[in-house]
Structure 1
Amino acid sequence: MALPLLNRLTGSTGLSLAVLGVGNIGSVHLKSAVAMSGVEVAAAADAVPENRTRAERAGVSRTYDDYGTLLESEELDAAVVALPPFLHADAVERAAEAGVDVFVEKPLARSTEEADRLLETAREAGIAVGVDHTLRYQPDVAGVKEAYDEGSVGHVPYASITRLNDHPLGRPPAREAPPEWPTDPDAAGGGSLFELGIHCFDVLEWLFGDLEVRDAAMGRTLDTEAEDAATVLVEAPETGTTITLHCGTYQWEQLPEVNTRLRLEGVTGTISNRDHLPGNFYAGAATSALSNLASRLTGDDPDVFGPTFYLQAHYDALADFCTAIREGERPPIDGADGRRALALAERAYDLAAERGESNAAADDLETPEVSP
């Protein structure tokens, strides 16, 4: 669906884009944008001096310590919002005032209420909102989608998805304190369910249509305020599929090389994302790990495209957003998609709270076994 209000590019040789936030994921978006043809990275903003230096090393000529000042000062077509979740709504509001389309890192907001305000502001200003739900772009997940859509296993009565990642504290023992916001549910919106489960909800809806959350439990393996483990029971009424979802941010000694597992148990067979991994995945991951270790020792920036299996997905998601903006079309994953994922997460939190009131053992979730 074309959106006429989006056809208002600045007239530069490429799509003029800024990156708001150049931390971990912001660096990925920045280097992705720098590598794209037809995109000009005009500026970047970050409150941390080291992050601004990182942007300058990546080739950005103008950096700001305040994203509001950047949006007021630059002539832009689009901005990547890679700030902590508690700043997303404000950043989108500032972008709306400047008439700048936005690509927002997930979660879109900290709540559906906040998302509704954000999206209404964008609608009134006529700007587009894209959301970085990149799991759809990973080749293994896309392979599952393609096989399922082809009907290769027939009806799928049961499916499961697991997504894991490092805890903000990093590998044990924690040597330095992480930023405060990732472990603050007021700032982040929640714990691992917001950090990782949001991706899972988006992929499941992409596969099976509308979802209903039936039950949920949250747990903590560390003494933190936000949950670092969540297990959710989901149903897809349209396809008659029951799904279990587990996500966790654990303090791993070594993070699993494949941190997402997706299985569809069909009546004539099983589809697994592991069957759709690139043939050179494990060799590429090992090479990248050695390269990035050497980068840390020499003080250089790690290669954000290694292993490309994960980070190429971020590139492709941003590239699709930029193409949509350039052509005056709705982003392929837009604010409505991000809002629906938030609603599912909120329902899971509500059910887990009800469970916790009647079951004090809800915090005793067992860490799932992960095999290579």
Structure 2
Amino acid sequence: MLGVGNIGMVHLKSALSMAAVDVRAAADAMPENRNRAERAGVPRTYDDYTTLLDAEELDAAVVALPPFLHADAVERAAENDVDVFVEKPLARSSEEADRLLETARKAGIAVGVDHTLRYQPDMIGVKSEYEDGTVGRVPYASITRLNDGPLGRPPVEHAPPSWPLDADAAGGGSLLELGIHCFDVLEWLFGDLDVRDATTDATLDIPVEDAATVLLRAPETETTITLHCGSYQWEQLPEVNTRLRLEGITGTISNQDHLPGNFYASAAKSALSNVASRVTGSESDVFGPTFYLQAHYEALSAFCEAIRNGERPPVDGRDGKRSLELAETAYELAADGDGDELETMEVT
């Protein structure tokens, strides 16, 4: 495990719960993160991922580091003949992704990418219903993905990490953090997309965009799509922060209709368990609310199964690069546009 911060701990708990996976070690620059990993059951921890890769005999590594370290981590893994499962975005740009993938190709290692929406049961339900043809052709679709972003939901108890608010380190703002998921799941549904127009906005006084709206067209299905993503909403789990609607000729398909039947009951049970764990000082259940985090388990499990069988990962580096290309086109159109930015809001 290369990085055991927020999402890294999700991947770690996933891997630890897989019967056919042996977690050997974890690396993180933060002592508190290494301590958490050790408490979770990791036998060895390192303060540097390059040291871990040189010291351990590994089949695969999960790269859950900030985006500016992805390319270097993959290069180091390639030097040690280690396959990689990379947290999205694959890289900060398609050019950086090209270099990363060329390094992997020359070394003969596999690259998987954690595009998790494909593994959520509501998105699987939408795809199944769409492919059944029950609503006929879909002239229009829309997707919205929102959360509270790196600043967190007020009142904020701890300062956020610096890299998500640094465009050079992260590659961008909410369009790259959240929109990248949307691009991937939309091409999974409709095939290749063309980006027609885009705008990015800042509702808060931060260095990266925290809102973006993109107009897309799917030539194969003749579907027009609007995508909106933002990190300005004070989300409250277990509310679902992704809305997907397909407006077909004979009806509508919505991901809201494909949520697990026990979604709220399961989330409430997990929330109560997590509250109790904080009182007793034990580890919280990383899979609760399970709806979101179980999808990360499925994505990593599918990658491991492909590697075990000598197959190409189901969501691989090409998919990761493709989503970056769409995001870059959106950024370019937004920069060239004349749209008015949202007025900056004061949040108290």
Length-normalised TM-score, structure 2: 0.96
Query: What is aligned with 1:12?
Result: none
Structure 2 residue identity aligned to 1:26 = G
Give the superposition deviation at 1:99. Answer: 0.3
Equivalences for residues 221-232 of structure 1 within 5 A: 221-232=203-214
Query: What is aligned with 2:342?
Result: 363
SS at match of 2:91: coil
Give the superposition deviation at 1:298. Answer: 4.1
Q: Is structure 2 residue 166 aligned with structure 1 residue 187?
A: no
| Equivalenced residues, count | 345
Q: Distance in 2 between matches of 1:255 and 1:184?
A: 26
Structure 1 residue identity aligned to 2:85 = F
Which one of 146, 164, 181 corresponds to residue 128 of structure 2? 146
Q: Distance in 2 between matches of 1:118 and 1:338?
A: 11
Contact 2:235 2:241 in 1 (8 A): no
Contact 2:141 2:223 in 1 (8 A): yes
Structure 1 residue identity aligned to 2:92 = R
Q: Is structure 2 residue 101 aligned with structure 1 residue 119?
A: yes
Query: What is aligned with 2:181?
Result: 199
Which one of 46, 51, 64 corresponds to residue 64 of structure 1? 46
Query: Alpha-carbon deviations, 1:31-63, whole Å to 9, x = none?
Result: 100100111001110010111111111111011
Query: What is aligned with 1:159?
Result: 141
Give the superposition deviation at 1:251. Answer: 5.1
Query: What is aligned with 1:344?
Result: 326
Contact 1:170 1:251 in 2 (8 A): no
Contact 2:119 2:299 in 1 (8 A): yes
Which one of 48, 52, 72 corresponds to residue 90 of structure 1? 72
Q: Distance in 1 between matches of 2:308 and 2:138?
A: 38
Structure-2 change in CA distance of 1:293 and 1:250 (3 Å): farther
| Structure 2 unmatched ranges of 5 or more | none
Contact 2:238 2:289 in 1 (8 A): no
Structure 2 residue identity aligned to 1:351 = L
Contact 1:166 1:255 in 2 (8 A): no
Q: Distance in 2 between matches of 1:69 and 1:203?
A: 35
Equivalences for residues 176-325 of structure 1 within 5 A: 176-250=158-232, 252=234, 254=236, 257-325=239-307
Q: Distance in 2 between matches of 1:84 and 1:293?
A: 29
Q: Distance in 1 between matches of 2:61 and 2:201?
A: 36
Contact 1:135 1:199 in 2 (8 A): yes
Q: Is structure 2 residue 59 aligned with structure 1 residue 81?
A: no
Contact 1:324 1:331 in 2 (8 A): yes
Structure 1 residue identity aligned to 2:6 = N
Q: Distance in 2 between matches of 1:69 and 1:271?
A: 49
Q: Distance in 1 between matches of 2:151 and 2:276?
A: 22
Give the superposition deviation at 1:173. Answer: 3.0
Structure-2 change in CA distance of 1:30 and 1:216 (3 Å): same
**Cα RMSD after superposing both structures:** 1.4
Contact 2:237 2:289 in 1 (8 A): no
Length-normalised TM-score, structure 1: 0.90
Give the superposition deviation at 1:295. Answer: 3.2
Query: What is aligned with 2:29?
Result: 47
Which one of 86, 107, 110 corresponds to residue 92 of structure 2? 110
The percentage of counterpart residues that share the same residue type is: 78
Give the superposition deviation at 1:270. Answer: 0.5
